[in-house]
Amino acid sequence: MSTKIAAVQFLNTISLIEGLDTWTGCELVKAVPSIIGQMIVDGTVDIGLASIVDAANPQSDLTLIPSGMIGCDGPTLTVRLFSSVPPEQIKTVHADTDSHTSVMLADLILREQFGVNAEIKPFDAREKTGTNADSPEEAWPETVLLIGDKVVVDSPPAVRYPHQIDLGQAWHDLTGLPFVYATWMCRSKDANTPKILEAAAMLERVRLRNNLRLDWLVTTQAKTHNWPADLARSYIGELLKFDPDARAMESVQLFYQKLKEHNILDTAEPKWLDFNQSLAKISC
């Protein structure tokens, strides 16, 4: 049976998924990030590139696979809080329905940096639903959180939002650490099965190979995603981080801890697959 792997169709995933479709043992399932975690829990897919908070829920019992991540060590560019009022005056955040992690990160940043405990409401940026409006500009609420390609290719009117917060930069300013938005993950009960271990090794090889040809990938994919080539090159090649190293793991631990301290989410301890042990098992 093929290994079903779920991932997002944003530009930021190309270095992790480009070439997976040539692996005969893989079936790539494309989905928005907000549903991938549940797809893994339900067994609809074997592995998914899911929001990091999806593994924070103790009931989910998910294991993080250090074969690749979507993160940053400073500005993210595509995870941004737009506000028509200063951050300390924000009362409600209309949050992009595509994400789980970014919503909780925005909530945390507002609490720790600005002393704001804002109400979070869902907002479909593609349909501009969640608000009542008589004009296109009014369709955008007072404060909105957006993620992904739409921040660049379908951004809200600049005149509407004089105040903007790049959440990756805000986390770095707060902690000095990178931020991890998503990683590969699987159900913990499957983590040490040959199927998952083989897939984890393949995902690592794909990431390392794509890292050597990022410029070519950006050149070929930017237009498909409606990104300006130069901006896409800076975004993928400079801003984003794809290797879940020790600092990234420390950041996940701290993020979970802060979510629990602020009663945003009752988090579990993050569980990481021992990748070196995994490779040794496969070689045997």
Quick one: pLDDT at residue 84?
A: 96
Same domain, 134 and 39: no
Structure tokens at 97: 């329905």
Tell whether the model's pLDDT for residue 234 goes beyond 90: yes
Quick one: pLDDT at residue 97?
A: 80
Same domain, 188 and 162: no
Quick one: pLDDT at residue 127?
A: 62
* pLDDT tens-place string over residues 47-90: 999 999 999 988 899 999 999 999 999 999 999 999 999 999 99
Domain boundary among 142, 175, 208: 175
Tell me the H-state helices in 118-270. Answer: 150-153, 167-175, 194-211, 214-221, 229-234, 246-261
pTM of the predicted model over 0.75? yes
Structure tokens at 59: 């009931």
Strand duo 240-241 + 119-123: pairing: unpaired
Query: The domain that contains 167 carries what CATH number?
Result: 3.40.190.10
CA distance 282 to 201: 9
CA distance 225 to 36: 21
Q: How many domains does the chain have?
A: 2
* pLDDT tens-place string over residues 145-190: 998 888 888 888 888 999 999 999 999 999 999 999 999 999 999 9
Same domain, 169 and 186: no
Structural domain boundaries enclosing 54: 3-71+179-283
Same domain, 265 and 185: yes
Of residues 24 and 1, more confidently modeled: 24
Domain boundary among 155, 175, 195: 175
Of residues 93 and 131, more confidently modeled: 93
Quick one: pLDDT at residue 136?
A: 54
* pLDDT tens-place string over residues 105-152: 999 999 999 999 999 999 887 665 445 445 555 678 999 999 888 888
Same domain, 101 and 239: no
Highest mean pLDDT among 1-5, 122-126, 226-230, 270-274: 270-274
- The answer to whether residues 8 and 30 touch, using CB atoms and an 8 Å cutoff, is yes
How is 205-220 classified by DSSP, letter by letter? HHHHHHHTTHHHHHHH
Same domain, 184 and 169: no
